[in-house]
């Protein structure tokens, strides 16, 4: 695993943009949408990703 996202209350719908640059998801209990710009696989691999930071939280 190279990357991870820590989310809020009960994410329900996930969608990736056609160009695979953005990830959108809804938080059912928070009643909102979040949009993330995703790093390319090559960039994550080059810097060994961010998942180790998320695992330590």
Closest CA to 25 of 38, 12, 6: 12
Q: How far apart are the C-alpha atoms of 11 and 13, rounded to whole Å? A: 6
Q: pLDDT of 43-52, one tens digit each?
A: 777 777 766 5
CB 6 within 8 A of CB 53: no
Two tokens, residue 49: 């990703």
Inform me whether the pLDDT recorded for 34 exceeds 80. Answer: yes
Count CA within 13 A, CB hemisphere, residue 36.
14
pLDDT at 45: 78
pTM for the whole structure = 0.62
**What is the residue whose two structure tokens read 């060994």?**
48
For residue range 1-23, list pLDDT tens digits in order: 556 676 677 878 889 999 988 98
- What's the whole-number mean pLDDT along residues 24-43? 85
């Amino acid at each position: 695993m190279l990357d991870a996202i820590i989310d809020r209350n009960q994410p329900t719908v996930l969608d990736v943009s056609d160009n695979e640059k953005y990830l959108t998801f809804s938080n059912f209990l928070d009643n909102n949408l979040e949009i993330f710009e995703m790093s390319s696989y090559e960039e994550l691999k080059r810097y060994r990703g961010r998942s180790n930071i998320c695992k330590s939280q």
